[in-house]
């Protein structure tokens, strides 16, 4: 089993979008029995809430379910439980590294867009502030497609 965790700031926009998109891709590939997918936020402001309305709308428009996704905060156990911890931006990535509390193996912590050639080094913008859920969806989809290709090599 491969365990994948997507992480953003509040776990209501980008990371639940990535969770839903990746879950859909994994299902379409017939791999849902081989990959466990979750999302979390570095902050606790939205714990227990469903994804943002804008996230739900863009997912619905693309016929992707957000059913069962509820915001939670990342914790220390997640660092060893998940094979891939995918940050949406550099700040999220640094928060995750700080949570780990050491310089030990952090090879499982990646930025989503670093998996793409076209957007390597860039952050997924936060639509909570920009309102551009469609742009974020396109970036998330590209990153998730590349992540799945990477994982399929390991399976």
Which of the residues are catalytic? 8, 14, 126
- Provide the total of helices (H) and of strands (E) in the chain, helices listed first: 6, 4
Q: Which two tokens stand for residue 10?
A: 């509040």
Q: Does an H or E element contain 85, and which?
A: strand 84-87
Q: Which two tokens stand for residue 41?
A: 């936020």
Q: How far apart are CA 15 and CA 71, in angstroms?
A: 9
């Amino acid at each position: 089993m491969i365990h994948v965790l997507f992480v953003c700031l509040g776990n209501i926009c980008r990371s639940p979008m990535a969770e839903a998109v990746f879950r859909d891709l994994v299902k379409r590939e017939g791999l849902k029995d081989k990959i466990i997918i979750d999302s979390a936020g570095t902050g606790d402001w939205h714990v227990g809430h469903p994804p943002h309305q804008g996230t739900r709308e863009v997912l619905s428009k693309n016929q992707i379910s957000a059913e069962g996704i509820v915001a939670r905060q990342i914790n220390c156990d997640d660092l060893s439980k998940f094979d891939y911890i995918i940050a949406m931006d550099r700040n999220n990535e640094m928060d995750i590294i700080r949570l780990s509390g050491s310089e030990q193996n952090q090879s499982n912590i990646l930025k989503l867009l670093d998996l793409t050639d076209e957007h390597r080094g860039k952050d997924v913008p936060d639509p909570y502030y920009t309102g551009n859920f469609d742009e974020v969806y396109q970036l998330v989809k590209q990153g998730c497609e590349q992540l799945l290709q990477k994982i399929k090599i390991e399976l």
